[in-house]
């Protein structure tokens, strides 16, 4: 169970506030400095005073400088290490950590002496049901989303055939290896034991990510002298490797911790934090201090939730484990989608800069007029321009459902985009990735996160465009909100049949609700004169009781009893807020049993190919798919990928970039030509 949205993470208690350092790494690593500052520490150069402390990085080769000063000055020594969910790439490639272990007692990987993490695992109440629920959900999320300490592996790369013994290599003279008293002979002993205990199985020696990146050597200076041993340096998912392994051998690697989470009982030759609690086959000395028996859920709770100090790089504050996990999920999602690069085809000039920010973080986006991809790059095409196009690497791009503070037709850059390799959400005539996500079971912790996000959306009163608008007085009675739409919008062209205009919509709603109070809300693009779909006031008032011009859509949803729509996103926003919705078209949220559907919806949303009925997704499944799993978000403040929770904060606080002057002029020109859109848009089929 995730913490309450208002729960504030606690800084580490006890250590001195002023910490002196004697390693320039603390001066260079801004993220580390910032986490320490937010934890209540002030880093300084110079000798510590009586109330000060000294900070060192773990047991690094330079830690002895600070250790000596702390001894001679008789002051506290604080050791800092990366938390166990760190970044996409290794820290040696310059990426900052998502969290730190700030330890005034020792260091977690050195079992010869106590550490703060060991004390937590030995003494804290690890039976709290809320904590254990969070730990179970966290474990499940790491596995489901394929997340590890480093995350530059390729989730699409197949692992070796299952049925091997996994031996974990580590960096040569790594601090955790030295603290365990291990040498190259220890690593060879692991291979020899693996061969003796599993004589007929192949042995796979997994290289460390630093060695795979060419940053450090591994601990095997000479190859093992036993048969059927393979050095494995492919960037395969650690979880996939663990799933195919029969047994796991390690000195002190974090992969041993993950092996426990994956259901293994790893054979451990060193003294890592996870050894000695009854979850490992300990082949090396274990501390008599560790006399408590733990479950893997309790181990996770101590190591991932209680011990680290987690950091939110977008909102620049300390955060909970779940919030850090939200952030790393967003960053890894973007990395995996963009790591090979993209060619963007036919994109308008005004869109290119924000598309570059979204998709060009790993490799700069290439813009082209043709569909020819370069090398293995995928092809990005704006959703409305992708009809009839075919390409093996085609990705359709569209605005997300929490878009901006202002209109797309005003050329306001989006804060969210969706990328769909299968179809596009607004076209019910073909399957889309969104449909797959809606039908998929929620991932671990997904229901709680979707519920929290739903409540955050309601509290913040955010919608797609978040315009500053008025709240009209409405007459009493049973009120039905009827949102107008842009009549040449792709969702109208693809998702409607008989009723495809705003006038026809109003006529249909009035016909079936003769005594209701109809509140007609024109689409803001139409009101601004930027897109077609206007109804004259006289026409509208023959059918509607109120024309809610420039009105706040959220206030209207709250004030009305139900919503009738063709395909408007306002119907989804009404579902989020618990309002009944009737659809005369086939928007992405129709056909699942959550709406009253008067128009045709795809049979595949109700029935499997074999004819059996499909299980009905819940509202939380719809929210999770549409707002969490399907879109990508980009934070305009930190200029990095982010989760939807950050975007809700930005929209509610007004922390978004305004359009430039040139964009405003261009938007007006586009509006002036909107009545001639039939000359360049595809005709309705």
CATH of the domain at 508: 3.40.50
Give residue 425's pLDDT: 97
Are residues 464 and 328 part of one domain? no
Are residues 21 and 165 part of one domain? yes
In a domain, 657, yes or no: no
* Domains in the chain, number: 2
Asked if pLDDT for residue 493 goes beyond 60, the answer is yes
56 falls in which pLDDT band (50, 70, 90)? very high
Least confident interval from 12-26, 116-130, 268-282, 486-500:
12-26
Q: For the chain, what's the residue count?
A: 685
Q: pLDDT tens-digit profile of 387-445?
A: 667 778 899 999 999 998 876 666 789 999 999 999 999 999 999 999 999 999 999 99
Contact by Cβ (8 Å): 138, 308: no
Q: How far is CA 319 from CA 9, 38, 373, 526, 649, in A?
A: 5, 10, 41, 42, 14
In a domain, 401, yes or no: no
CA separation for the pair 331, 151 (Å, rounded) = 10
Q: Who contacts 460 (Cβ-Cβ below 8 Å, separation ≥6)?
A: 648, 649, 651, 652
In a domain, 604, yes or no: yes
In a domain, 434, yes or no: no
In a domain, 663, yes or no: no
Q: pLDDT tens-digit profile of 632-679?
A: 999 999 999 999 999 999 999 887 765 554 444 444 444 444 344 444
CA separation for the pair 613, 593 (Å, rounded) = 12
Q: pLDDT tens-digit profile of 9-28?
A: 444 456 678 999 999 899 99
CA atoms within 13 A on the CB side of 140: 13
Q: pLDDT tens-digit profile of 337-352?
A: 999 999 999 999 989 9
In a domain, 345, yes or no: no
CA angle 321/280/273 to nearest 5° reads 45
Question: What is the DSSP pairing of strand 229-232 with strand 366-368?
Answer: unpaired
In a domain, 275, yes or no: yes
Contact by Cβ (8 Å): 408, 416: no
pLDDT above 90 covers a percentage of the chain that reads 81
Give residue 6's pLDDT: 41
Q: How far is CA 202 from CA 224, 232, 246, in A?
A: 13, 12, 10
Can you tell me the mean pLDDT for 205-212? 90
Q: For helices 644-653 and 321-338, what crossing angle results, to 10°?
A: 100
Look at residues 285, 306, 332 and tell me which one is the last residue of a structural domain.
Answer: 332
Look at residues 632, 655, 673 and tell me which one is the last residue of a structural domain.
Answer: 632
pTM to 2 decimal places: 0.91
In a domain, 602, yes or no: yes
Look at residues 617, 632, 647 and tell me which one is the last residue of a structural domain.
Answer: 632
Expressed as residue numbers, the domain containing 284 is: 1-332
3-class secondary-structure state, position 281? strand
């Amino acid at each position: 169970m995730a913490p309450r949205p208002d729960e504030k993470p606690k800084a580490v208690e006890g250590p001195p506030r002023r910490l002196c350092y004697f390693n320039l790494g603390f001066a260079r690593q801004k993220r580390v400095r910032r986490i320490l500052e937010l934890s209540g520490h002030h880093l300084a150069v110079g000798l510590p005073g009586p109330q000060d402390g000294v900070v060192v990085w773990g047991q690094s080769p330079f830690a002895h400088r600070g250790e000596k000063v702390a001894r001679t000055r008789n002051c506290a020594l604080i050791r800092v290490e990366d938390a166990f969910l760190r970044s996409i790439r290794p820290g040696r490639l310059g990426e900052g950590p998502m969290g730190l272990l700030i330890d005034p007692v020792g260091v977690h990987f050195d079992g010869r002496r106590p550490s703060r993490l060991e004390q937590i695992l030995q003494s804290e109440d690890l039976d709290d049901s809320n904590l254990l629920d969070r730990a179970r959900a966290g474990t499940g999320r790491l596995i489901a989303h394929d997340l590890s300490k480093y995350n530059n592996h390729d989730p699409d790369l197949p692992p070796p055939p299952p049925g091997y013994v996994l031996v974990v290599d580590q960096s040569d003279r790594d601090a955790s290896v030295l603290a365990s008293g291990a040498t190259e002979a220890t690593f060879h002993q692991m291979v020899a034991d693996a061969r003796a205990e599993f004589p007929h199985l192949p042995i796979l020696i997994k290289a460390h990510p630093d060695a795979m990146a060419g940053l450090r050597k591994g601990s095997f200076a000479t190859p093992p002298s036993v048969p059927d041993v393979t050095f494995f340096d492919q960037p395969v998912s650690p979880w996939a490797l663990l799933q195919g392994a029969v047994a796991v051998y390690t000195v002190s690697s974090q992969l041993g911790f993950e092996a426990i989470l994956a259901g293994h009982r790893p054979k451990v030759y060193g003294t890592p934090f996870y050894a000695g609690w009854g979850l490992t086959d300990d082949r090396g000395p274990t501390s008599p201090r560790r006399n408590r028996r733990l479950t893997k859920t309790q181990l996770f709770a101590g190591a991932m939730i209680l011990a680290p100090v987690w950091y939110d790089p977008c909102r620049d504050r300390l955060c909970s484990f779940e919030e850090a996990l939200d952030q790393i999920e967003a960053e890894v999602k973007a990395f995996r989608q963009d790591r090979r690069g993209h060619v963007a085809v036919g994109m308008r000039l005004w869109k290119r800069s924000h598309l570059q920010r979204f998709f060009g973080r790993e490799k700069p986006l290439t813009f082209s007029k043709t569909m020819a991809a370069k090398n293995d790059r995928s092809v990005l095409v704006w959703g409305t321009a992708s009809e009839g196009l075919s390409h093996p690497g085609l990705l359709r791009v569209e605005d997300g459902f929490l878009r901006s503070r202002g209109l797309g037709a005003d050329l306001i850059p989006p804060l969210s985009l969706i990328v769909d390799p299968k179809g596009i959400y607004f076209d019910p005539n073909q399957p889309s990735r969104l449909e797959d996500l809606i039908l998929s079971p929620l991932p671990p912790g997904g229901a709680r996160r979707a519920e929290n996000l739903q409540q955050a959306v309601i509290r913040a009163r955010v919608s797609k465009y978040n315009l500053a608008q008025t709240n009209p007085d409405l007459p009493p009675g049973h009120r039905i909100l009827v949102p107008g739409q842009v009549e040449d919008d792709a969702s109208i062209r693809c998702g409607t049949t008989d009723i495809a205009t705003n006038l026809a919509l109003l006529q249909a709603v009035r016909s079936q609700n003769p005594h209701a109070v109809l509140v007609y809300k024109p689409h803001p693009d139409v009101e601004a004169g930027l897109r077609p779909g206007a109804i004259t006031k006289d026409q509208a008032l023959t059918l509607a009781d109120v024309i809610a011009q420039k009105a706040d859509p959220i206030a209207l949803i709250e004030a009305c009893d139900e919503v009738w729509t063709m395909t408007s996103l306002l119907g989804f926003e009404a579902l989020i807020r618990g309002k009944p919705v009737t659809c005369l078209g086939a928007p992405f949220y129709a056909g699942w049993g959550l709406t009253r559907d008067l128009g045709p919806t795809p049979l595949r949303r109700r029935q499997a190919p074999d004819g059996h009925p499909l299980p009905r997704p819940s509202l939380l499944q719809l929210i999770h798919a549409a707002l969490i799993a399907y879109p990508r978000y980009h934070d305009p403040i930190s200029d990095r990928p982010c989760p939807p929770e950050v975007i809700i904060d930005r929209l509610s606080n007004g922390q978004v970039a305004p359009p430039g002057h040139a964009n405003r002029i261009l938007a007006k020109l586009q509006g002036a030509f909107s009545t001639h859109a039939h000359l360049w848009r595809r005709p309705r089929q």
